[in-house]
Structure 1
Amino acid sequence: MAVHPKDKRFKKLIGRKVILPIVNKEIEIIGDEMVDMNFGTGVVKITPAHDPADFETGKRHGLRLDYKVIDKNGFMTEEAGIFAGQDVLTARENIVELLKSKGNLVKVEPYTHKVGYCSRGGCRVESIVSTQWFVKSSELAKKVITGYKKGEFEIVPERFEKTFEDWIYNLRDWCVSRQLWWGHQIPAYYDVKTQELLTVSLDEEAVFAKYGKENVYRDADVLDTWFSSALWPFSVLDWTPENPWELFKKFYPAQVLETGYDILFFWVIRMLLMGYEYTGQTPFKTIYLHGLILTEDGKKMSKSVGNVIDPLDVIEQYSTDALRLTCSIGNTPGNNLSFSLRDVENNSVFLNKIWNVVRFVHANIGEVTDDYSLLRAKMENNWTSFLPHEQWILSRLKSTIDNVTNGMERFNFSDAWQDLVAFTRDEFADFFIEEYKLTKTTTENGRDVLAFTLLSLLKLWHPYIPFATEELYGIVTNGNKEDSKKEWSSNEDWEAKRGVQDKVYDERASEIWVWNSSFRDSSSLMDSEWASLSIVRNKKIEADTLVLFEAIRTIRNIRATKGVKPGELVDMAILAPKKSLDILKENEIIFLGLAKIKEMIITKNKLDDPSIAYAVTGDIELFITIPVNEANTEEEKKRLKEQIENRKEYLRAQDLKLLNADFVRNAPEKIVRIEQDKRAQAADQLKKLEEKFNSLI
């Protein structure tokens, strides 16, 4: 029995003995700080042979460690006296009856306790001391700790360094023997008669020659699977202590290990232990720990619970790339991801958009026969002489390449994806391709800019959606001329030829096109160089183009709100300062074409005609002539009122930020000034919107 040595109730009893009434045997009372004085009676039983914590306590106090009352089959041993041979549950009931009959039982009450159960058989797990093989991990850890302190490997994200340190600095002996049928059998040999360990050897024939085959038997246990897995980084490279071989010299240590944070201890630390012990080096330079994929409601997936989603079913319905993309984005490094089929469906739809974008580009510019590096050199050497919108897309592409590359190198795949999808959808597809349509007869470099941007996008998207981008790259570059058919075929042909493994379309979409070709071994995107562009971004053109696009978006929103047909042209007047007017005039063809405007009329006065829809973006006031009636006038007032409320809400948020003394004091002066300018512009917009609203009352 154990009590806390500082427990005033019992410390005087330490060293004395009590009688265990079950078997009428004396047992000693010991004092140990592991006892919680405030839990239960403050007195706990110690059974070193049946509890890991009690085993450690027994070692500290020199208790007998092999006093087993339960055998490996779940029956009571001879040490259990009159209960020997009974199963555990029967013995428990009989012990209670015995205590009752002796008058030793005080009371019986329900008690909630943490009890281990087998996940497969559903039965209770009883701990039993046994003879096993151990690795003295604390000794092996010394080399790992030295390498860690020297920075020979890093852990991403950094917050897991604390978890790693908690483990590596407190390693206990590692039990590596398992009583299983499958695994690496332990090469230990025993005397048949005495069961004495004779030797540990990898040369079984030498053991038989020395002791006689009939006189020895091999240990039936196998190594812990994590022990075997820990050898993987160098064992797969033909490594031997005598000769590491060329594969080991070339590929060891690995650059990156990618695995789940839940096996940082079980696998990663064990690989580090073995790697440093046998090779003297870390097995990998970077350890990237990803999160777990959970159910949509944030629970861990489990086959026994029945909430597992079969990835093959998801691939069958949506495609490999849609599933891969869903699992790669939506969270930060090391965090768990709640998996939703809605996200897979949305990503599948977005893949269709990419597919159709490439289809359009291919239809307009044909196959890109120039090498990527040659196109890049042309962009880098001549881009400042291109049309403004061509300079803009290259400047934005430069920003996107840098952001995605940095995100990849920092393992921040989700942030990199956000930049990539914004550029692909909002800038390349929605604006630049439309601009190319309007200027392709007058531009000298538009085709090359479009081709280079498209190839760069396919490279940037490749880590996320490898099947689709590989196929599309082959289409655009005509990677295998013998197998390529110069036609876009329906999804039925694609399904028959390619199967579901790299399906990239949504079966429910109304108009989907794919390329019908076999896999190309040559001109592989996977083997090509990463996207790059060595230019200095033109932030002035980016800012000017943003003014243009905001005006176009605003007009498009008004047209949609008013129910104007997509192809119908409308009249429009603009009231704006010279700087903004110059931007619109310089891009007049694009502005009129994308906004579907008949003519851009410059006015110096506000127009108060009730048939005119009003909007303000930045310092530009837009007056769009749309046939209206009394009902539409009320609709216009409602629309303006919503914009007024939005501006007021934005101003309230800006005021809170700018009135925050900590923000003003700690933020860079440039940032504070930008926020002040935003507030001033929003206040000016609010004033103009209110004036227009009041004119309609």
Structure 2
Amino acid sequence: MKAIELEKAYDPKSFEDRIYSQWKESGAFQPEKPKDPSEKPYVIVIPPPNVTGMLHLGHGLNISLQDIVIRFHRMRGEPTLWVPGTDHAGIATQNVVEKKLKARGTSRRELGREKFLEETWKVKQEHHEIITRQLSRLGASVDWSRERFTLDEGLSRAVRDVFVTLYERDLLYKGNYLVNWCSSCGTALSDDEVEHEETSGKMYHIRYPYEDGTGFVELATTRPETLLGDTAVAVNPDDERYKHLIGKTVILPLANRPIPVIADAYVEKDFGTGVVKITPAHDPNDWDVGKRHDLPVINILTPDGRLNDSVPEKYRGMTVKEARKAVLEDLTEAGFFIKDEDITHAVGHCYRCNTVIEPFLSEQWFVRMKPLAEKALAAWRKGDVIFYPKKWENTYQHWLENIRDWCISRQLWWGHRIPAWYCETCGKTTVARENPDRCAHCGSAQIEQDPDVLDTWFSSWLWPFSTLGWPEETDDYKTYYPTTALVTAYDIIFFWVSRMIMAGLEFTGQVPFRDIYIHGLLRDKQGRKMSKSLGNGLDPLELVDEYGADSVKFTLAFMCAQGQDLLVDKESFKLGSKFANKIWNASRYILMNLEGRNMTENPPLLPVDTWIYGRLNGAARAMNDALTSYRYNDAALTAYEYFWNDFCDWYVEATKLSMRSGDDAEKDRATTVLLDVLAESLRLIHPLLPFVTEEIYEKLPNTKGLLITARYPEYREDRTNPRIDGEFSFLQELIRMIRTLRSECTITPDKKVRVLIRLSGGFAHGKFLQDNTDLAKLLAGIGELEITDAGGEGFSRPEGSIGLVGNGFEAFVYIADAADMVFLKQKFTKDLEKDRKFMTSLQSKLANGNFTRNAPAELVEGEKRKLEDALKRTEKLESYIRDMA
């Protein structure tokens, strides 16, 4: 064989794009159809990113985790499908386009619906190309031939079919209800689309005078401007302070309108003054109170967030902020204002534009969720869906048990237009799968389609089956549905995960996936959520440019422990970069030394070869266990420790004995085994670092085809050899102890040390050590090695040596031959003094009851571990100093 050259420096830019194109063009991303019905495919549908968004590092995490398990199952020989796609993101996309139009001096109203949608499709296409490129750069092995978009023809057909089906099953209704309203986006939002932020505000105390002039009642509110829509004042029926007021009438300040005092258990006696204003059109709880007491409902706002004609003329046209200021001034002037107090309270904001949400009375379409939720809860209780980690089951259960009806209509133009037509002649509604040309009830041609569109999530909740061709019985739907797994972040359990399960059960009769892996959120090192406003976000493509896609993917997997958020900064990704470099450099060394070597068939194995196959076997079992249960960090740690420690630091180093021998047959044997172990190691690591492993794998003389479709290593019982494992563990313990002592004594690698090893009587691994003295000398930097089992009272530690005690042996290292003993004794004495002081401070800290009682348990345990480590260090240093005396 000839030596194979890898570039001296690991440079992912030189091969990542090329390899991705190679994978894509080879058809490796497309699954082979199952050969028989019993062969279950592994299927994931991608959580579709918003088509107008740029992928952030959160997407990078989500994509990386999916890619890892997809590659793993593909290599196991399972028909594996990863469906890509994007979401039309109604509110977000319309906002982007409207901003562009505003910059051009026009608006959607001026353009009209048809022209506006043409502009929006152009923006969609531009951003879609960017997202496609980003996914490719991250190495996402998605099946591009099956890519979908939530507004494509097939998904639009599925959306309409579902809307009509819900209507036919009486699970859909339209009515005037209180909704969350974003005045900036000009649309209703569901409860889940409102983000509550802790905000500084005030509690305003106001007098409402009795109609009979005998006094007033004091109440407190955070939104004084809404009093213009009050229709009652409420007290708790059991509140002795106010029982005499129930049934009385008060005059509404500024509006000069009489309103009743009512009793309702909703009022908390201990909150504020124990009296609350009731504004049914502008507070969800007040809405419920209003329905119970049949109160009038007065909407005081326009859709653009200004006060309407239901308020006194002075306030009409004001924004909410302007009205609050004017109302407070007028209340003060009229003597109704008492005081205000500073408070912090949760205020709802639009999840897209961050505008403060106003409860708003509006006519909207709703889905009755309770019947759907009951099926989803039953499926979870039966074990049809499994959460990883299980703690998210509680969130799922709580939300479904307390679910409210879903407002699905949005006052937008971009999206799936609601398939409902209103008849001007008879006033009835026609809901249809195909566009009608006349009313289904009276036959009139005077019908007009609802101008609103459906909530974006209405198409997303159908994603697992609509992407596969449903409602048609397509081959893909029959083959790949239900899908296998969903990988997503915990912040959309309500938005998406629960609704997909409800939709799957309602429309296909099956849960849409079995495994639900919920990963944490990315945060900066201070624990803050990454955001544009804080300026602490990281661009995944910038990281790919600097470190390579493999480094990004491996680092994210390594840090992704189940149930925990990830605290990262740019420096974090050096971890993955160093590991990719290690794989590159180790492989480069092996390939550089192939000159003149020949491959041999069925080469015999030395004990060290048997040992590395055993370590590889154990790593394969651990990797299989970790990736089938979505323990990404365990998989990454296993790969790291096996390749860096077992393969590189021990096995590759050990093979240098064979390579330095004068026996060509031995060199050929060792090279053959080494290349075989390397090839299998690359297969083991591929899901976590696909690019670098593929680049190296295709250059190996003992491999054929692409690594992406090679077989993943599986655990084999015949590779387990407990005797060899035990013998090599003993050898590693001995070598580590000598290496550590060399390091502590600052003995340079070029200096060889003399070592005497004294074995305990009956020690089981004595022969192994005798047979492998050359290996021990190579790995521990030993020049002269003597082994004895001499014991008894006549034995004494050799002069000029330091003794090390291991399991069944003592090793005496002749330090005096390689180091300055006077200097070392001074160094160890100084280190010992420093450690004793450290121990004293730790003991004092742990003896302090205030610390042990009040500090977090993990902090206390950490200090205890530090004390144990310091104790071990002092004992070791004391033994060194004794030996040097």
TM-score by length of 2: 0.63
Residue 674 of structure 1: aligned partner: none
Distance 1:394 1:117, change over 3 A: closer
Residue 309 of structure 2: aligned partner: 78
Is structure 2 residue 696 aligned with structure 1 residue 472?
yes
Structure 2 CA distance, aligned partners of 1:84 and 1:290? 49
Is structure 2 residue 369 aligned with structure 1 residue 137?
yes
Distance 1:145 1:433, change over 3 A: same
**In structure 2, which of residues 454, 458, 462 is the aligned counterpart of residue 231 of structure 1?**
462
Is structure 2 residue 414 aligned with structure 1 residue 182?
yes
Residue 881 of structure 2: aligned partner: 693
Amino acid at match of 2:403: L
Is structure 2 residue 805 aligned with structure 1 residue 616?
yes
Structure 2 CA distance, aligned partners of 1:213 and 1:337? 60
Structure 1 CA distance, aligned partners of 2:329 and 2:526? 48
Distance 1:236 1:99, change over 3 A: same
Residue 453 of structure 1: aligned partner: 677
Residue 721 of structure 2: aligned partner: 538
Residue 642 of structure 2: aligned partner: 423
Residue 670 of structure 1: aligned partner: none
Amino acid at match of 1:546: S
Say which SS state the counterpart of residue 363 (structure 2) adopts: coil
Contact 1:368 1:451 in 2 (8 A): no
Q: CA deviation at 1:112?
A: 4.8
Amino acid at match of 1:434: E
1:318-352 superposed Cα distances (whole Å, 9 cap, x missing partner) = 11111111111224213110112222113202211
Contact 1:3 1:35 in 2 (8 A): yes
Q: CA deviation at 1:389?
A: 1.3
Contact 2:554 2:636 in 1 (8 A): no
Amino acid at match of 1:471: E
Residue 552 of structure 1: aligned partner: 735
Is structure 2 residue 619 aligned with structure 1 residue 436?
no
Structure 2 CA distance, aligned partners of 1:245 and 1:368? 54
Residue 626 of structure 2: aligned partner: 407
Distance 1:569 1:446, change over 3 A: same
Distance 1:553 1:114, change over 3 A: closer
Q: CA deviation at 1:212?
A: 8.5
Structure 2 CA distance, aligned partners of 1:237 and 1:364? 50
Q: CA deviation at 1:278?
A: 0.6
Amino acid at match of 2:783: K
Amino acid at match of 1:254: T
User: Unaligned regions of 5+ residues in structure 2, if any?
Assistant: 1-232, 843-867
Structure 1 CA distance, aligned partners of 2:782 and 2:453? 78
Distance 1:309 1:367, change over 3 A: farther
Contact 2:828 2:877 in 1 (8 A): no
**In structure 2, which of residues 775, 779, 784 is the aligned counterpart of residue 594 of structure 1?**
779
Q: CA deviation at 1:608?
A: 4.3
Q: CA deviation at 1:43?
A: 0.6
**In structure 2, which of residues 551, 573, 581 is the aligned counterpart of residue 322 of structure 1?**
551
Structure 2 CA distance, aligned partners of 1:101 and 1:532? 82
1:171-215 superposed Cα distances (whole Å, 9 cap, x missing partner) = 110011112232111111123588x45211231144489988972
Structure 2 CA distance, aligned partners of 1:200 and 1:356? 66
Q: What root-mean-square deviation, in Å, do the aligned CA atoms of Structure 1 and Structure 2 show? A: 3.5
Say which SS state the counterpart of residue 469 (structure 2) adopts: coil
Contact 2:550 2:688 in 1 (8 A): yes
Structure with the higher strand share, 1 or 2: 2
Distance 1:182 1:211, change over 3 A: farther
1:502-551 superposed Cα distances (whole Å, 9 cap, x missing partner) = xxxxxxxxxxxxxxxxxxxxx22221221124125222322221221122
Say which SS state the counterpart of residue 181 (structure 1) adopts: coil
Residue 40 of structure 1: aligned partner: 272
Is structure 2 residue 390 aligned with structure 1 residue 158?
yes
Structure 2 CA distance, aligned partners of 1:155 and 1:121? 32
1:356-403 superposed Cα distances (whole Å, 9 cap, x missing partner) = 112223334589999xxx99xx6xxx9xx7322122112222211111
Contact 1:648 1:686 in 2 (8 A): no
Residue 254 of structure 1: aligned partner: 483
Counting only pairs closer than 5 Å after superposition, residues 272-421 of structure 1 correspond to structure 2 as 272-364=501-593, 386-421=605-640
Structure 2 CA distance, aligned partners of 1:547 and 1:640? 30
Structure 2 CA distance, aligned partners of 1:32 and 1:261? 37
Q: How many residue pairs are counted as aligned between the two chains?
A: 610
Distance 1:122 1:270, change over 3 A: closer
Q: CA deviation at 1:263?
A: 0.6
Residue 485 of structure 1: aligned partner: none
Say which SS state the counterpart of residue 79 (structure 1) adopts: coil
Contact 1:190 1:217 in 2 (8 A): yes
1:483-513 superposed Cα distances (whole Å, 9 cap, x missing partner) = xxxxxxxxxxxxxxxxxxxxxxxxxxxxxxx
Q: CA deviation at 1:83?
A: 3.5
Structure 2 CA distance, aligned partners of 1:189 and 1:478? 68
Bigger relative contact order, structure 1 or 2 (CA pairs below 8 A, ≥6 apart): 2
Say which SS state the counterpart of residue 616 (structure 2) adopts: helix
User: Unaligned regions of 5+ residues in structure 1, if any?
Assistant: 481-522, 654-678
Amino acid at match of 1:624: V
Distance 1:358 1:643, change over 3 A: farther
Amino acid at match of 2:581: N
Structure 2 CA distance, aligned partners of 1:558 and 1:601? 18
Residue 755 of structure 2: aligned partner: 572
Structure 2 CA distance, aligned partners of 1:4 and 1:399? 67
Structure 2 CA distance, aligned partners of 1:690 and 1:106? 76
1:583-642 superposed Cα distances (whole Å, 9 cap, x missing partner) = 3212112111222323212354334423x3443333433333345699533414644886
Q: Which has the higher mean CA deviation after the structures are superposed, 572-581 or 288-297?
A: 572-581
Contact 1:328 1:413 in 2 (8 A): yes
Is structure 2 residue 494 aligned with structure 1 residue 265?
yes
Counting only pairs closer than 5 Å after superposition, residues 469-508 of structure 1 correspond to structure 2 as 469-477=693-701
Contact 2:745 2:819 in 1 (8 A): no
